[in-house]
Structure 1
Amino acid sequence: MKTINKLFILSISLLSVFASCKKEKKEPVFDDKDLAPLSIEFDNIVGGKNLILNSETYTNAAGEDYKISLLEYYISNIKVRKADGTEYVVPQDNSYFLIKEGDEDHEEALVNVPEGDYTSLAFTVGIDSLRSTMDVSKRTGVLDPASPENDGLYWGWNSGYIFFKMEGTSSAAPVDGSGQHIFRYHIGGFGGYSSPTINNIKTITLDLTERGPALVRKDKKSNIHLMVDIDKVLSGATTVSIAANPSVMFSDYSVNIANNYATMFRHDHTENE
């Protein structure tokens, strides 16, 4: 019996040691001098055409014509991965970007990552619940609700951000007060603060191997070029009829549009210069 007790105590002790070692394992810490630049370019298109605001007319899967006058969306929580599974997560404070069609200053996400050959890219469309509920002093730049750079992408009444904003005209849309046929899609919802609500945060993961990994070096420029097909917002898994849904904001139907825009990103090529 004493032998059994000793073996039991020894086993518990070994498990404690293993658990302690596991807890003490830390991710490597990188200093800024150890990092190299990486850019992620978001090239908005509609089907096989370039997206041109206000002038080009497109047709969705419902057979409705439409023009886009405004397109903006948040990209956040960027991380890259190597073929061996090693992953680097860009620090959150440096990982929030607003992509605006027609604005050269908001066409890409610029981050710094350790040198390496990266075969996978992941990011979030939207703003995570933690950042959405932080004190406003922690939400600066494109996240500052009072900044012109934010461009009205914050719902003060719901304490959350509009992740994806698209507006335009369509003959299928009803006439609004200005006499125009306007459609508006303002999609947000981080899951709720004090009680569960709509969660339209989407995580996108893209394999970079087929069209070239990102070879990140301090003395080179690496750019991951993504094509973003906005037509999939209306013509994805759910065919969105502008006539039936000319204005979608914080409603159950917004989930359909969010599921659609989660499929609009594809890796076109990587430039390693």
Structure 2
Amino acid sequence: MKKNTIKLMMISLVMISCSKSEDVANNVNLHFNNTFKNTTIVLGGAESPAATTNTSANGQVHQFSELKYVISNIRLIKADGTEIPYHVNDLDKGATVVNQAKLSSLDYTLADIPVGEYKQLKFGFGVKQELNTLDQFRFPVFYAAAGANDTEMMWQWATGYRFAKLEGFYESNHQKFTIHTGSTLNGKSGQPDTYVQGIDAYRDITLDLNTRLVVGGNHPEITIKADFDKLFSGNNKIIIDEKYETAPQQHEGMEAMVTYVNNLGGDGKEDRVGMFAIEKVKN
């Protein structure tokens, strides 16, 4: 009788162990490493000795005091080409604000990912058109996160979210720059039935994994590098001047913002990676 009891206890322990292992195995962590070229960014004020600085392709020196952007519409692609979407139509469960000033926001865990091998990662830089509405009732969690005082990822004058909020200083006299991006709607204020898409600042990013991601044994992690040198030194070489001390769209119309968007997230055609790259995969 004792032997049978011991066997049952051992079987129970094995089952519990396997259950815990499977729970862990089905999680995938996305870690965002925001850099100037190959150096991880340190934020700081105009006179901060610790803040990282970067010299652009045009020889202009920049540093960041604020760096935030939205990631959504996440999909993992299996080795056989099967696409596994991750809450792509639910901003509460499948979107996040990456904030360089908030360490915890640099990691985002995907839960309950099917076991298998994966070759690609896709995600949205920003929020796709059909979800880009400031709706505190449909997606209260994301709405609160995007509107919090330390985030402020909402347009004050439009109906959608900011996709990137980048502020800092340039040149040796530390002049301030402010660059905010996001899609726009045209129409009559307060009349949703008149809204039509204006500028589409959403970009769909496709990254090939340099090592196959294996889900099924551990808690794997994908490190995604976002190189903000591309903001100024990407396909569009940009020199900031005094008119960019506030958001560029206030000076040259919203079309000017697209130049920055295409550097950060690609043009959605020939360039579908923008500033993003896979740094490493840890299985």
TM-score, normalised on structure 1?
Answer: 0.78
Displacement of 1:145 after TM fit? 7.1
What's 1:20 paired with? none
TM-score, normalised on structure 2?
Answer: 0.75
Displacement of 1:239 after TM fit? 0.9
Residue 168 and residue 253 in structure 1: after superposition, are their counterparts in 2 closer, same or farther (change >3 A)? Answer: same
The answer as to 2:83 corresponding to 1:72 is: no
Q: Which amino acid aligns with 1:264?
A: M
Match of 1:90 among 80, 86, 89: 86
Distance 2:158 2:243 in 1: 22
Displacement of 1:244 after TM fit? 6.1
The answer to whether the 8 A contact 2:34-2:226 is kept is yes
Displacement of 1:142 after TM fit? 3.4
Q: Which amino acid aligns with 2:198?
A: T
What's 2:280 paired with? 269
Displacement of 1:116 after TM fit? 1.2
What's 1:119 paired with? 119
The answer as to 2:205 corresponding to 1:207 is: no
Distance 1:245 1:214 in 2: 45
Alignment partner of 2:117: what SS?
Answer: strand
What's 2:130 paired with? 130
Displacement of 1:152 after TM fit? 1.0
The answer to whether the 8 A contact 1:143-1:150 is kept is no
The answer to whether the 8 A contact 1:64-1:170 is kept is yes
Distance 1:189 1:213 in 2: 34
Identity of aligned residues (%): 26
Task: Output aligned runs, 1:225-236, within 5 Å.
Answer: 225-236=223-234
Residue 245 and residue 207 in structure 1: after superposition, are their counterparts in 2 closer, same or farther (change >3 A)? Answer: farther
Distance 2:100 2:227 in 1: 12
What's 1:248 paired with? 247
Alignment: residue pair count:
232
Residue 62 and residue 117 in structure 1: after superposition, are their counterparts in 2 closer, same or farther (change >3 A)? Answer: same
Task: Output aligned runs, 1:1-273, within 5 Å.
Answer: 36-54=26-44, 55-91=51-87, 92-93=89-90, 94-112=93-111, 113-133=113-133, 135-144=135-144, 147-148=147-148, 151-171=151-171, 181-189=175-183, 194-208=195-209, 211-217=210-216, 219-243=217-241, 246=244, 247-250=246-249, 251-262=254-265, 263-272=274-283
RMSD: 2.4
Which structure 1 segments of 5+ residues have no match?
1-31, 174-179
Greater Rg over alpha carbons, structure: 1
Alignment partner of 1:105: what SS?
Answer: helix
Residue 138 and residue 181 in structure 1: after superposition, are their counterparts in 2 closer, same or farther (change >3 A)? Answer: same
